[in-house]
């Protein structure tokens, strides 16, 4: 197994000193959390009337082991002292409250990883939470992670891409909710009595993203008979280099949700809208990261060209064939990018081989970004339903809608006297089905994609070595 060391100001060995996962209290904490998790209901509470339920005394003992282990580990994490004390208090409150729906707002407010972004700094995180693209229930999870904040990234954030809430992170170890496809740690997922006024951090595991990207890209390149230029091949073979590409991509993507000519609230996270609008928003943020990477490459930033490859390959190869086809907005964005590049002759599928015009790829990819940006700018002056139809027109210019689609027939096929949110009911679960190209690719890649569940830098390295 290859261990990726995180370089800090004091060197890689200092970054490994006092590792939480090497302390004997960590397996005790992890084991106690794993014992509690299956006892919990969807909302995180424990129903003692349920068949096979534990006794309150059993749960209390398990929670006591978690709290004691946290206190043992706290000296390794002086920067998280306020959070760890609040965490222990919240655990005791959960016990005293009879194990009802957990409320960890106090410890959430005390956890402030973005306030001290230092490369290699470790954190222990314990919360009742769901894991996006992982476990949908608010079970307890325990995660040990490290911050990814090299000086070159800190300088770009400070001078160019202000994003004070963003945390690049990597896994050290985790409980079952992260032995999944989840690659994020978001405060919105944590069980609390009320949402705080604002969230102050958000973390993305660049090691999982990079390892997943490498495994899927390697398989796709082989299946599609692609000839990779030497610099791209070197990137795909290098976990640390891919992690740097993803942490830069993520930082720019994340801030883009609140930058640009936006029709007030582009993502409309608490509103109903057709899933292709979510797809366009996510793709806009990725293509903005791509566009910025083109600029940064011209300025000599070494990670910038890798970001371009990562965006193209992850979007074209993994996104369209990952997950269910029900309102799969990320899949739709990947389909759109491939179709756009194909129709502009940047990618060609000929003689059962995929060829990419590497010289024209940046220009044409930026062209798609400009079309989406123009859609947004025009959307400022449009009613919501008109904006949705404009988005549909952009997507359907390059992707064929389902033959049974009502939306494809235009406004006259819909009851436009209804409020827009009601018309979302007329959207098909798979409004833009996979092309024949992607249907075939999906069959060949599905086992590879399934194998990336729970992947980390270390497990990915083991597979490559094998």
What pLDDT is stored for residue 459 in this prediction? 75
What pLDDT is stored for residue 3 in this prediction? 34
| DSSP assignments along 11-43, one per residue | -HHHHHTT-GGGSTHHHHHHHHHHHHGGGB-TT
207-227 in b/e form (b: 16+ CB < 10 A) is bbbbbbbbbbbbbbbebbebe
Burial class (CB in 10 A: 0-12, 13-18, 19+), 250: buried
Element (H, E) at 142: strand 139-148
pLDDT tens figures, 346-399: 999 999 999 999 999 999 999 999 999 999 999 999 999 999 999 999 999 999
User: Residue 416's CB: how many other CB atoms inside 10 A?
Assistant: 11
| pTM across the whole model | 0.93
What pLDDT is stored for residue 271 in this prediction? 64
Q: State whether the Cα torsion 185-189-190-192 is positive or negative.
A: positive
Question: Which residues, 6+ apart, have CB-to-CB distance to 70 below 8 Å?
Answer: 29, 84, 87, 88, 91, 124, 126
pLDDT tens figures, 135-191: 999 999 999 999 999 999 999 999 999 999 999 999 999 999 999 999 999 999 999
What pLDDT is stored for residue 266 in this prediction? 65
What pLDDT is stored for residue 17 in this prediction? 52
Contact 172, 73 (CB under 8 A): no
Mapped onto helix, strand or coil, the DSSP state of residue 71 is helix
Q: What is the mean pLDDT of each run of 10 residues along the chain (466 residues)?
A: 35 59 98 98 96 96 98 98 98 98 98 98 98 96 98 98 98 98 97 95 98 98 96 97 98 95 68 91 97 98 97 98 95 98 98 97 98 96 95 98 97 95 96 98 97 90 52
Token pair of 6 as six digits: 């995180």
What pLDDT is stored for residue 263 in this prediction? 79
- Which residues pair with residue 168 across a beta bridge? 148, 204
- How far apart, in whole angstroms, are the C-alpha atoms of residue 163 and residue 254? 8
Contact 243, 307 (CB under 8 A): no
Q: 86-94: list long-range contacts, CB under 8 Å, 24+ apart.
A: 86/110, 86/111, 87/126, 91/63, 91/66, 91/67, 92/63, 92/67, 94/63
| DSSP assignments along 221-251, one per residue | HHHTT----HHHHHHHT-HHHHHHHHHHHHH
Token pair of 427 as six digits: 């959207």
């Amino acid at each position: 197994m290859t261990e990726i060391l995180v370089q800090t100001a004091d060197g890689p060995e200092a970054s490994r000193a006092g590792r939480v996962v090497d302390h004997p209290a960590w397996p005790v904490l992890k084991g106690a959390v794993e014992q509690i998790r299956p006892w919990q209901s969807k909302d995180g509470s424990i129903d003692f009337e349920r068949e096979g339920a534990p006794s309150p005394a059993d749960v209390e003992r398990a929670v006591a082991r978690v709290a004691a282990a946290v206190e043992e580990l706290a000296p390794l994490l002086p920067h998280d002292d306020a959070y760890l004390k609040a965490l222990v208090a919240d655990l005791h409150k959960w016990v005293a409250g009879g194990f009802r729906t957990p409320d960890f707002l106090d410890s959430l407010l005390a956890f402030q990883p973005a306030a001290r972004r230092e490369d290699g700094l470790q954190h222990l995180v314990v919360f009742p939470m769901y894991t996006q693209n992982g476990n949908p229930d608010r079970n307890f999870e325990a995660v040990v992670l490290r911050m990814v904040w090299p000086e070159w990234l800190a300088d770009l954030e400070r001078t160019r891409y202000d994003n004070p809430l963003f945390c690049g992170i990597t896994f050290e170890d985790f409980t079952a909710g992260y032995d999944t496809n989840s690659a994020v740690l978001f405060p919105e997922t944590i069980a609390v009595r009320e949402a705080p006024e604002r969230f102050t951090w958000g973390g993305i595991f660049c090691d999982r993203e990079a390892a997943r990207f490498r495994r899927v890209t390697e398989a796709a390149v082989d299946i599609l008979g692609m000839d990779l230029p030497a610099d791209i091949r070197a990137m795909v073979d290098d976990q640390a280099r891919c992690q740097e590409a993803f942490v830069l991509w993520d930082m720019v993507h994340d801030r883009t949700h609140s930058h640009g000519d936006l029709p007030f609230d582009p993502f409309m996270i608490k509103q109903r809208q057709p899933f292709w609008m979510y797809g366009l928003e996510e793709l806009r943020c990725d293509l903005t990261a791509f566009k910025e990477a083109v600029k940064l490459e011209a300025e000599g930033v070494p990670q910038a060209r890798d970001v371009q490859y990562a965006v193209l390959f992850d979007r074209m190869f993994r996104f369209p064939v990952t997950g269910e086809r029900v309102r799969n907005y990320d899949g739709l964005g990947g389909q759109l990018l491939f179709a756009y590049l194909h129709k502009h002759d940047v990618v060609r599928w000929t003689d059962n081989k995929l060829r990419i015009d590497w010289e024209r790829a940046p220009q044409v990819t930026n062209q798609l970004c400009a079309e989406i940006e123009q859609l947004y700018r025009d959307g400022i002056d449009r009613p919501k339903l008109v904006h949705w139809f404009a988005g549909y027109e952009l997507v359907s210019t390059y992707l064929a809608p389902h033959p049974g689609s009502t939306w494809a027939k235009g406004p006259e096929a819909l009851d436009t006297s209804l409020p827009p949110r009601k018309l979302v009911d007329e959207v098909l679960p798979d409004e833009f089905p996979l092309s024949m190209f992607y249907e075939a690719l999906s069959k060949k890649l599905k086992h590879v994609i399934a194998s990336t569940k729970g992947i980390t830098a270390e497990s990915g390295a083991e597979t490559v070595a094998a």
